Structure 1
Amino acid sequence: MPQGMALYVGAVLGTGVLTLPALAAELAGPASLLAWLGLVVLSVPLATTFAVLATRFPDSGGVSTYVRRAFGKRISAVVGWWFFIGAPLGMPALALFGASYLAEVTHGGQGEAVAYAAAMLTLGFASNAFGVRLSGKVQLLLTGTLALLLVTAVVVAVPHAREGNLEPFAPHGWAAVGSAAALLMWSFNGWETVTHLSGEFANPKRDIKRATVGALVVIGSLYLLLAAVTTLALGESAGKTATPLAALLELGLGSTGPVVAAFIAVLVTSGTINAYVAGTSKLAAALARDGALPRYFAPGAETGAVPLRSLIIVAVMTGSVFSASILFDLDVQTLVLSSTACIMALYVVGASAGIRILRYTSRAGTVSAATALVLLVVLSVLTGWYLLWPLGIAAAWLLVAGRGAAGGQLAQVT
């Protein structure tokens, strides 16, 4: 259970802590705190829905398994492909975010940052080549150290907090809070990751619930504390710095602060990559098992097995996106928002499946899924044209799978 909780925290508590407090403050000022609070609240029904489903149907297919039960194989394959493609789009961005902190401390240029990012991606795939249990132990160490260091950042910055920094509270209007929430959704991606690992728990019915509650408490507390202290301690400068975590630590630790921030950046990045590699490779094997990928990649979908073949294909996809982003100087923000749109679409259909599956057996699960669905639809609209990514993937797959049956099942989801 502790390893599972650590993987959960690592998947959600990602690189958002490195940059998004500043970007949200720039968009909405101190009112961005409302966006943080709203997304923490959203996380409760969303995580609860996935926990109830994972407890009842532990399977490496995760959300795609629940969608298959609710809406059929073709829609399930679409959901699986959203994650299968969305994760390799986002992982290079994760690595580059963390590498930028490290390159700044070592006074390196773009070349060093690329090398650092490549090394972190390589380590993430290597640790998973030995199985999710080793990956879980690595994640437990990473998450524990990360939580300690983030709490340290809050503690050393609190003496510099000023209530006056909350004024004006909404300098860009209340509508800016919605824009900040859409951006901050990147910080809350990952609640579905544990569903792909549900079969690996020693006692899924007991441990998944405990891991979910523990992750909600840790993630919610750390995000809200960091967002609040960033606003109160940095004031107007919060939205003007690219490295807010380094700025916080520098307030209390002086010149040592940026070095500690770089270490945190490496931990955050490594932990998130580790968790996403574990979940995506397991999902790929399950998709192959269910016929949505070539059968060659199916070995490893079963509980306790290492999905080496699917791990390799996920590594190739991630490496290709990473190489293209460097070669063509792609905007990292584009990768982030494209990945987020795919995950948001997955959440919407996953919550819909939760309502259909749990409506007669779990009142709490049904209410959680319905609440999450309403909030997710609103946030999905705020992502704008990036929704073309999941829509394009869905259209391509449904055309390949067959228009007739797929159209009927798509109508059920609608």
Structure 2
Amino acid sequence: MSDHRIGLGQGTAIYVGAILGAGILALPALAAQAAGPASLLAWLALLLFCVPVATSFAALGGRYPDSGGVATFVSKAFGKRASGAVGYWFYFALPAGAPATAYVGGQYVSHTLGGGEHVTLLVAAVLLLAAFGSNTVGLKLSGRVQLFLVGLLAVLLLIAVLTALPHARAHNLTPFAPHGWAAIGQAASLLFFTFAGWEAVTHLSGEFRDPGRDLPRVTVLTLVVIGVLYLGLALTCVLVLGPQLAHANAPLTLLLQRGTGSAASAVTAVMAMLLTFGTMNSYLAGASRLGAALARDGFLPSVLAKGHRAGEVPRRSLSLLFVLSALVCAFALLTGTGLGHVMLAASSCFIAVTVAGLAAGIKLLPRGTAVWWGAVVAAVVMGAVLVFSGWFLLLPLALGALAIGWAGWTARRAAPAPVGEPVAVVVAPVPPAE
């Protein structure tokens, strides 16, 4: 067992890694295509929406620090059965979400370097194996690796912004809303999942030295870093690329070409790998600890419970996630299942986890306070987003039923015989006296 605890630097790096994703490489263009320069308002609105979500989970994590994360919050608010369902939503969505994220990173690297599908799959496999390997060693290594990678990523993004800024032109802000003000909502829907990930790191709340003190600080630092990176990059893309932004397949590459020239492709490929690895590294750190907590609470086989305590490495839970991820990859390759369907399946579960966590916050946090009202507003918005998952809502429903069924089955097996029920006693025959 390790006595390592997360500090502010490593905690912030893990949190930033969970929020940032490879989508930032393409989404500035998609948002500009939908709303023009007015897409900047969508970026700002979603950053502000992050505040109540993040502060709600920080407050809950400080009150109930545990590797169960959102599942623990739900257990305190609604009971053990509900928490098992929520735990299953996150744990069993990860084997679909991690390979899909790795594949997106591989696609961007392959596209940037001019490779084909085999390059995409090779890069995705390397990224996936690296994230699992980092977490196998434990948070002491994965936290330090994350701190280094997020720092390097921030430097590269700042280089992209600062070297391109001399080419900024104010006239690129006009017309500001060429598709009308309603298009800002469409841009926001495209950008929504770029700001997700707060639910993933709740499972690490027990790993902090002082969760009640450290979680709010880490949350504030993460919001500042995310805000600077997202808004800085989006504003620079609009000011520098102008109308070209809406038609760009790789806007960050174009931005770098303006500032660094021929090195743009290589730098963009490195950033794509850093973003992808960082996201998977953070999610795996949380999910593996959640699996151990679920086993501790009777929702998974007890053999997986090793590693649920703070400072331990849940290698058995991580191994199961690796096997399940490999099976998802094999299934997708053999059946030709599209990336979009895999990502939507995972997203429906992750959104459901966020809604459940916010609902728990409404019940557990002090009523009428600012953080309570934030949880109310965020829960309403996220609930509306969840409805748009359509048929994919069947997946969290099925996983919830499976969790409750497993807990009921194991409880019946472990239950003692009811009082008053006759117990059969076998008496050996006594041999006759000689």
Superposed counterparts of 1:36-55, under 5 Å: 36-55=43-62
Tell me the equivalent position of 2:287: 280
Among 115, 125, 128, the alignment partner of 1:118 is: 125
- Alignment partner, residue 297 of structure 1: 304
Tell me the alpha carbon deviations over residues 76-122 of structure 1, each in whole angstroms, 9 at most, x when there is no partner.
11111111122222211211222223223443211011011101100
Partner of 1:169: 176
Counterpart selection for 2:395 from 389, 394, 397: 389
> Which amino acid in the other structure matches residue 164 of structure 2?
A
Measured after TM superposition, the shift of residue 366 of structure 1 is 1.5
Q: For residue 249 of structure 1, give the secondary structure of its aligned residue in structure 2.
A: helix
Secondary structure at the counterpart of residue 60 of structure 1: coil
User: CA–CA distance in 2 between the matches of 1:343 and 1:141?
Assistant: 27
Pick closer, same or farther for the CA change 1:383–1:153 going to 2, 3 Å. farther
Change beyond 3 A, Cα 1:366–1:141: same
Structure 1 distance, partners of 2:321, 2:385, is: 28
Aligned to 1:405: none
Q: Percent identity, please.
A: 50
Aligned Cα RMSD in Å? 2.0
Q: Which residue of 2 aligns with 1:373?
A: 379
Aligned to 1:249: 256
Provide the rounded CA distance (Å) in 2 between the counterparts of 1:395 and 1:208.
32
Structure 2, unmatched stretches of 5+, are 1-7, 409-434
Q: Which residue of 1 aligns with 2:91?
A: 84
Gaps in structure 1 of 5+ consecutive residues: 403-414
In the aligned structure 1, how far is the partner of 2:172 from the partner of 2:96? Answer: 37
Q: In the alignment, is the contact (CA less than 8 A) between 2:33 and 2:247 conserved in 1?
A: yes
Is the 8 Å Cα contact of residues 71 and 86 (structure 2) preserved in structure 1? yes
Q: What is the 5 A alignment of 1:202-213?
A: 202-213=209-220
Q: Does 1:62 align with 2:69?
A: yes
Q: Residues 30 and 340 of structure 1: is their aligned pair in 2 closer, same or farther, counting only changes over 3 Å?
A: farther
Please give the alpha-carbon distance, in whole angstroms, between the structure 1 residues aligned to 2:181 and 2:403: 39
Q: Deviations over 1:36-84 (max 9, x none)?
A: 1121011111000010111111100000000011011111111111111
Write out aligned runs for 1:2-21 (5 A). 2-21=9-28
CA contact (8 A) 2:113 2:265 kept: no
- Tell whether 2:246 aligns with 1:239: yes
Question: Counterpart in 1 of 2:34?
Answer: 27
1:323 paired to 2:330: yes
What is the distance in 2 between the residues matched to 1:22 and 1:281? 34
Which secondary structure does the structure 2 equivalent of 1:291 belong to? coil
Match of 1:131 in 2: 138
Comparing 337-346 with 297-306, greater Cα deviation is found at 337-346
Instruction: Confirm whether residue 140 of structure 1 aligns to residue 126 of structure 2.
Output: no
- Report how far residue 395 of structure 1 moved: 4.9
User: CA separation in 2, counterparts of 1:164 and 1:45?
Assistant: 35
Contact preservation (8 Å) 1:182, 1:382: no
Of the candidates 334, 343, 355, which is equivalent to residue 350 of structure 2? 343
Give the TM-score, by structure 1 length: 0.91
Contact 1:189 / 1:340 at 8 angstroms: preserved in 2? no
Distance 1:252 1:82 in 2: 43
What residue in structure 2 maps to residue 363 of structure 1? Answer: 369
| Deviation readout 1:135-193 (Å, 9 max, x if unpaired) | 10110001111111111111122222233333343344444333332332221121122
2:110 paired with 1:103:
yes
> How far is 1:391 from its partner?
3.8
SS at match of 1:45: helix
- Between the aligned partners of 2:397 and 2:176, the Cα distance in structure 1 is 37
Distance in 2, matches of 1:235 and 1:304, equals 49
Structure (1/2) with the larger helix percentage: 1
What do residues 9-49 of structure 1 show as CA deviations (whole Å, max 9, x unaligned)? 00101112112222222233323222211210111110000
Asked if 2 retains the 8 angstrom alpha-carbon contact of 1:4 and 1:194, the reply is no
Residues 1:168 and 1:86: Cα distance change in structure 2 (over 3 Å): farther
User: 1:186·1:336 contact (CA, 8 Å) conserved in 2?
Assistant: no
1:192 to 190, 193, 199: 199
Larger radius of gyration: 2
Task: Look up the SS of the partner of 2:137 in the other structure.
Answer: coil
Q: Secondary structure at the match of 1:147?
A: helix
Instruction: Indicate whether 1:71 and 2:71 are aligned.
Output: no
How does 1:255-274 map onto structure 2 within 5 Å?
255-274=262-281
**Residue type matched to 1:199 in 2?**
G
- Counterpart amino acid of 2:238? T
